[in-house]
Amino acid sequence: MDVYEAIEKRRTIRIFKKGASEAQLRKIILAGTKAPSGGNRQPWEFIMIDDPKIIDQLAELKYQLNRKLPPGSGETQKDVEERALNQKKWFQNSSVVAVCTNSGQSTNGWLAVENMSLAAVAEGLGSNIISYWDAEKKEVEKMIGLPEGYELTCVLKFGVSGEEVKPGKRRPEFSWLHKNKF
C-alpha cells in the first residue's frame, strides 16, 4: 500500500470485531521503531497487553477519567457519562499496546504512534489512540510495571473494524497553509 493511500484511509476506529494477531502487532510495532527520534535516541518501549484483567483495568481507568470531564457546549452530565461508558466499552475485542518513552521524550513516542497507526491501515486494521493523564496516567504506569525514568505516551488499540468507516470532515485543502507569516 502506498503511504499516501494509508494516510488517506487512516481513521479512528472505536468498535472492533476482533483484535490483531501477534504477527500483525509485531509488524506494526516494528514500523513504530522506524520513526525519527531526537539524536536517534529511540527512547521508546512497547508493551503488548493481552491479559483481559489488565485490559479491563485500563478500560475502567479511562471510564473514570472521562467521567471527570465537564459537559461540552449543549451537553449534560448524562452525555458525559454516556461518552465515558462508551470509552470503556470500546476496549472490547481489541489488541492493546502501551507506548512508553524515557521521561521527557514523549514527542518521540508520538512519532512512533503515527507510524504504527499507518502500519495498521496497511495491515487492514483499524486503530484508536487512548490518552491518560493525572492520577490515572500514574495508575496505568504502575499497572504496566513501568520503571522509574519512563512514562506512558498513550495506549493504542488495534483490530478489525466493527463499524462502517466514513471519511471524516476535513477543512478545505490548503485553508491551513500560510507563507512566511500567519
Within 13 Å of residue 13, how many CA atoms lie on the same side as its CB?
Answer: 29
- pLDDT, one tens digit per residue, over 127-150 is 999 999 999 999 999 999 999 999
The pLDDT confidence band at residue 168, using thresholds 50, 70 and 90, is: confident
Q: Residues 113, 32: contact at Cβ < 8 Å? A: yes
Average pLDDT over residues 46-60: 97
**Is pLDDT at 155 greater than 90 in this prediction?**
yes
Which one-letter amino acid corresponds to residue 49?
I
Place of cell 502501551: 98
Which one-letter amino acid corresponds to residue 28?
I
**Is pLDDT at 117 greater than 90 in this prediction?**
yes
* CA–CA–CA angle 110, 112, 118 (5° rounding): 105
The pLDDT confidence band at residue 166, using thresholds 50, 70 and 90, is: confident
Average pLDDT over residues 53-78: 96
Q: What's the alpha-carbon Rg for the chain, to the nearest Å?
A: 17
Average pLDDT over residues 84-100: 96
Average pLDDT over residues 48-55: 97
Q: What's the CA gap between 153 and 139, in Å, rounded?
A: 13
The pLDDT confidence band at residue 2, using thresholds 50, 70 and 90, is: very high
Query: Which is higher by pLDDT, 165 or 156?
Result: 156
**Is pLDDT at 169 greater than 90 in this prediction?**
no
pLDDT at 165: 81
**Percent of residues, the chain, with pLDDT higher than 90:** 95
| Residue 57, C-alpha cell as written in the block | 483495568
Q: What's the CA gap between 29 and 36, in Å, rounded?
A: 14
Q: What's the CA gap between 136 and 62, in Å, rounded?
A: 8
Which one-letter amino acid corresponds to residue 61?
L
Which residues make beta-bridge pairs with 127? 12, 158
Q: How far is CA 14 from CA 17, 73, 111, 129, 162, in A?
A: 10, 23, 21, 9, 8
Long-range contacts of 166-172 (CB under 8 A, 24+ apart): 166/11, 167/11, 168/11
| Residue 160, C-alpha cell as written in the block | 478489525
**Is pLDDT at 118 greater than 90 in this prediction?**
yes
pTM of the model: 0.93
